[in-house]
Amino acid sequence: MAKRPQLKLNQRVRIKIEDGPYKGEYGSKILDFDDKTIEIELPFDEDNRPLSIKKKTPLKIIFTGATALYQMESKVKKRKKKPVYSLVVLNSSEVERIQRRRFVRISVQEEIEYRVVAYCDIKEKQEYNDYSEEFNKALAADISGGGLMIVIKGANNFEIGQVLELKIDFIELSISLLNGEIVRVEERKEDGTDKITTVYGVKFVDISTELREEIIEWVFAKQRELRKKGLI
């Protein structure tokens, strides 16, 4: 067990229910908390109806800390309808670290577009960036709230530290253009040929908390979909 990182108001969390009619994972956020209880948003179903999660239902609250993903065992103490639908659950200072990475990553095979931009100074990026360069196509091999891995056919043309402007259309985001810094480069030979494919690890930079949460929500929803199909 690990000591729980400090919780924050409006922090996005996941609720995990392992048994019963509402088995699954749901997005939520922290509305209030004290030493004994945490009040969280009550999830809604696909028809936009609040879930009828009953008192004493055991659940896990999953949230991110500075360097890892954590989960806390809890139980529903009561439901509330005002001022919003919510659950009051038991608080605990003991949590389990379940993943070293801060962001859960999921494999995908989706087309994205990219172009190289200068990024000398975030506050003055309009002055430095050359927006005349055309977008090129690449394949996203995985994605998380922290970044993504992209695959580009051909030898390595970019270096660690370079910044790409990324057009991500396979997720419905409020903003589809993001900036990412190359943090890892790996060249691979395609099976049975001399053709080179280059894999780039890209970290999102200058991304808002809201936009990052949109990506995280999509990742968790995709995981639930794949689990239902027995693919993970």
Q: What is the pTM of this model?
A: 0.58
Using 50, 70 and 90 to split pLDDT, how confident is the model at 224? Answer: confident
- Report the alpha-carbon distance of residue 218 to residue 224 in Å, rounded: 10
pLDDT tens column, 61-119: 988 776 667 889 999 999 999 889 999 999 987 888 876 556 778 999 999 999 888 76
pLDDT tens column, 5-55: 778 898 888 898 998 888 888 889 999 999 999 999 998 887 888 999 999
Q: What is the pLDDT of residue 123?
A: 42
Secondary structure (3-state) at 226: helix
Secondary structure (3-state) at 190: coil
Q: What is the pLDDT of residue 127?
A: 46
Secondary structure (3-state) at 85: coil
Record the tokens describing residue 203, joined without a space.
């970290």
Record the tokens describing residue 20, joined without a space.
């019963």
Is 74 in contact with 61 (CB distance < 8 Å)?
yes
- Using CB atoms within 10 A of its CB, is residue 96 exposed (0-12), middle (13-18) or buried (19+)? middle
Show the domains of the chain with their CATH numbers. 2-99 (2.30.110.10), 106-227 (2.40.10.220)
- Report the alpha-carbon distance of residue 73 to residue 36 in Å, rounded: 13
Record the tokens describing residue 211, joined without a space.
């936009």
Q: What is the pLDDT of residue 148?
A: 95
Q: What residues does 153 pair with on adjacent strands?
A: 197
Share of the chain above pLDDT 70, in %: 86
> Greatest CA separation found in the chain?
64
Residue type, 23: K
pLDDT tens column, 113-172: 998 887 644 444 444 455 557 899 999 999 999 999 999 887 667 888 899 999 999 999
